[in-house]
Structure 1
Amino acid sequence: MNNTPPSPRRPLTERRKAATRFEIARAAAELFTERGPDATSAEEIADRAGVALRTFYRYFRNKQDAVGPLLAVGAERWRVLLAAAVPGTPLPEALERTLTEALAVPEDGTAEGLRRTRALLRAAVRDPALRAVWYRVNQESEERLVPVLARLAGPDADPLELRLAAAVAVDALRIGLEVWAESNAPDGPPGAPGTGAGSPAGPVLRCLREVSSGLRPLAPAARAVR
């Protein structure tokens, strides 16, 4: 039985804003995949998304920034799954199980979404502004992961170890995805694009296992000596 309370439903205006942000992000990703960031303008992204240019700039600072929501989808899905894990679950076990589940579903559930993600990560190698967005997304993911791990570990967990565990987990995801993006592996079978030899799960889980082998159960915080 899942005793996790349901997330409060966001107001309609917030949901519409989130939907608009994601539509712009998807349009930017499609154009970057087709032409590359250099050959794509903010005006073209806005036109593809069906919004005015002023609407584009209301949500994003520049064209590279527009793909941020898309790059953050996987990490957000991972955090939701971790938040639903049973408190006290060994950290390496919880991280691997939820990450495997999160990676099984590409950005939009299709092989095309997987190809888009791979194209964005490859483009980030050559585009410093796009790379900065990717690093920012990972930094924000690390910060948001800390309270999720704190809930799993309990109130006595050491804050230093919590931050270290969050950094290790997010870096494993980032490096694994970058290695997968630069590889020549196929994008996986059409019926299950997030699984199989061509999915990002292989290199990401390998990274996670390598680094999490050094993660011990989160210890209680050191208490002041009276």
Structure 2
Amino acid sequence: MHAHLPSSSGSLTERRKAETRLDIARTAAALFVENGLRATRAEDIARAAGVAPRTLYRYFATKEEAVAPLFAAGAQQWAEAVREAPAALPVRDALRHAAERALAADDTGAVESLEWVRSLLRMAGESAALRAVWSDACHGSEQTLVTVLAEREGRSGASSLQLRLMAALASAAVRVAVETWAAGDDPAGSPAGPAALAGRCIEALGDFRRP
């Protein structure tokens, strides 16, 4: 998932805060990958990011939470891709199209972001705190997707139950795809990369028939 900057909407102060959070997140991820989660202190992250420790703790309660914006940025990118998918596409096709776009290893920055995610998810296997950060990001993605799907499908009379079920299934499919890829060694842009796996997982969900 690409770690792009948040939307330009909102006040200048809000955008600067979001940029600072993402800068800290990138720094934390790089240090975790280079030195290991246990060996990296919050103070190390703050120093490398060029902020005071109190600034870091103003944004994040723990060092593990410092990478949350990276996970959240990828989730937001997927939701936006669903929103921008052609309106004529059936919901499953729109979800697959969006997941493949959000997880595409189409440039050096995207590959780097995906490799960070792979490393962080491997670390999460031994860190309950980092697993909780990933879980919260996945849940947040699901909640955002409910809103996006309501915009797309609301006109067709889809119920709240249907929308929540679609979002939950799609979010689980993408999570399984990313976690499966992260557990292996296949390149991000390969046929076994996260974009390809996400497409296959969403395809396997069927046509989202009404319950």
TM-score by length of 1: 0.83
Secondary structure of the residue that 1:37 maps to in structure 2? Answer: coil
Question: For 1:205, which of 185, 191, 199 is the aligned residue?
Answer: 199
Instruction: Output one character per residue of 1:116-156: Cα deviation in whole Å (capped at 9) or x when no partner.
Output: 11101111111110001000100111111101101111242
Rounded Cα–Cα distance in structure 2 between residues aligned with 1:80 and 1:68:
18
Matches within 5 A, 1:119-134: 119-134=119-134
Corresponding position of 1:158: 159
Change (3 A) 1:130 1:203: same
Secondary structure of the residue that 1:196 maps to in structure 2? Answer: coil
Rounded Cα–Cα distance in structure 1 between residues aligned with 2:92 and 2:76:
18
Of 146-155 and 20-29, deviating more is 146-155
Question: For 1:196, which of 190, 208, 211 is the aligned residue?
Answer: 190
Deviation at 1:16, TM superposition (A): 0.6
Rounded Cα–Cα distance in structure 2 between residues aligned with 1:117 and 1:25:
12
Rounded Cα–Cα distance in structure 2 between residues aligned with 1:131 and 1:29:
14
Task: Report 1 or 2 for greater relative contact order, CA contacts < 8 Å, sequence distance ≥ 6.
Answer: 2
Deviation at 1:175, TM superposition (A): 0.8
Rounded Cα–Cα distance in structure 1 between residues aligned with 2:140 and 2:38:
26
Change (3 A) 1:86 1:106: closer
Corresponding position of 1:175: 176
**Pair 1:215-2:208 in alignment:** yes
Which letter maps to 1:199?
A: G
2:177–2:198 CA contact under 8 A, matched in 1: yes
Rounded Cα–Cα distance in structure 1 between residues aligned with 2:26 and 2:8:
26
Change (3 A) 1:107 1:26: farther
Aligned residues: 204
Corresponding position of 2:186: 185
Corresponding position of 1:53: 53
Percent of matched pairs sharing the same residue: 45
Rounded Cα–Cα distance in structure 2 between residues aligned with 1:40 and 1:145:
33
Rounded Cα–Cα distance in structure 1 between residues aligned with 2:9 and 2:208:
35
Rounded Cα–Cα distance in structure 2 between residues aligned with 1:161 and 1:167:
10
Rounded Cα–Cα distance in structure 1 between residues aligned with 2:132 and 2:106:
22
Instruction: Output one character per residue of 1:177-209: Cα deviation in whole Å (capped at 9) or x when no partner.
Output: 00000012134xxxxxxx333531122222212
TM-score by length of 2: 0.89
Rounded Cα–Cα distance in structure 2 between residues aligned with 1:106 and 1:62:
32
Q: RMSD value over aligned CA atoms?
A: 2.0
2:105–2:111 CA contact under 8 A, matched in 1: no
Structure 2: runs of 5+ lacking an equivalent:
1-6
2:121–2:182 CA contact under 8 A, matched in 1: yes
Instruction: Output one character per residue of 1:60-91: Cα deviation in whole Å (capped at 9) or x when no partner.
Output: 01000110010122211111121223445310
Change (3 A) 1:83 1:111: closer
Instruction: Output one character per residue of 1:102-121: Cα deviation in whole Å (capped at 9) or x when no partner.
Output: 11157972432222111011
Larger fraction in helix: 2
